[in-house]
Amino acid sequence: MSAVADTHQAIPTTMSRFLRFTASGNKKNLKLPINRDKSAFGRPWDRQFLGYQPTETGELKPSPKATEKYKNQVRSLFTNLNSLTSNQLRDIWKRYVRGWCNYFSLADEPYWRNSLSGWTRRHIRKCFWLRWHGSKGRKRRLEELGVHPKTIQRTNLNGAAWPAAKSFAMHSALNNKRLFKYGFLVPLDFATT
């Protein structure tokens, strides 16, 4: 029993010695630097491979680094600082999300599609809230999209964009069906049934 425990404790020290040896040899003879982040060792579910990360049960999910890259892309596209029209924004977004979801099509849905989809839709709603400048413009747009007048009255039209994107008025105006119809797709729309 103790021999097995000693073996498991010896693996990290042996691996670190091996990495030191190969790093010094490669640096001296081949003049190649070793990337310690990519050459580390550990459990498979603690590592990432080509953007995927296996779980302890053997399923795949996008790695945290890939998910963060996706979120940064959403943040940069759906901001009030960009001067694209809604159609241009939609086209760029569709191209990006389709490619991203096709690449991660091997990943299992429960891990990432639902949470990322809701988060993405909220950013899309936030973007439109910001584009509807001021309380008059927001009220007019909400009325055009068929939101009940009493719902509009209860909505803080001068409020911050992120909380407003979660409001009932914005969910009524830009519900999931309407976002899909307008072409603002999310990872859940690419789920295989």
Is the pLDDT at 193 greater than 50? The verdict is no
- The residue with greater pLDDT, 12 or 95, is 95
pLDDT at 7 over 60: no
DSSP helix/strand/coil, 107: coil
pLDDT in tens, 98-156: 999 889 888 876 667 888 999 999 999 999 999 998 889 999 999 999 999 999 889 88
Residue 161 has pLDDT above 50, yes or no: yes
Torsion of CA 70, 71, 76, 78, to 10 degrees: 110
**pLDDT for residue 8:** 45
Q: Which helix (H) or strand (E) holds 162?
A: helix 161-164
Q: What whole-number distance in Å separates Cα of residue 182 and Cα of residue 119?
A: 18
Kindly indicate the confidence band of residue 176, based on its pLDDT and cuts at 50, 70 and 90.
very high
The pLDDT value recorded for residue 94 is 94
Quickly count: other Cβ atoms within 10 Å of residue 135's Cβ: 13
Q: Look-up: residue for tokens 């989809």? A: 117
Residue 6: alpha-carbon gap to chain centroid? 41
pLDDT at 61: 86
Domain positions in the chain: 1-41, 51-190
pTM of the model: 0.76
Tell me the per-residue pLDDT of 49-62, one tens digit each, with 9 for 90 and over. 788 888 888 888 88
User: Residue 37: its pLDDT value, please?
Assistant: 66
pLDDT at position 46, please? 72
Candidates 60, 34, 31, 29; CA nearest to 47 is: 60
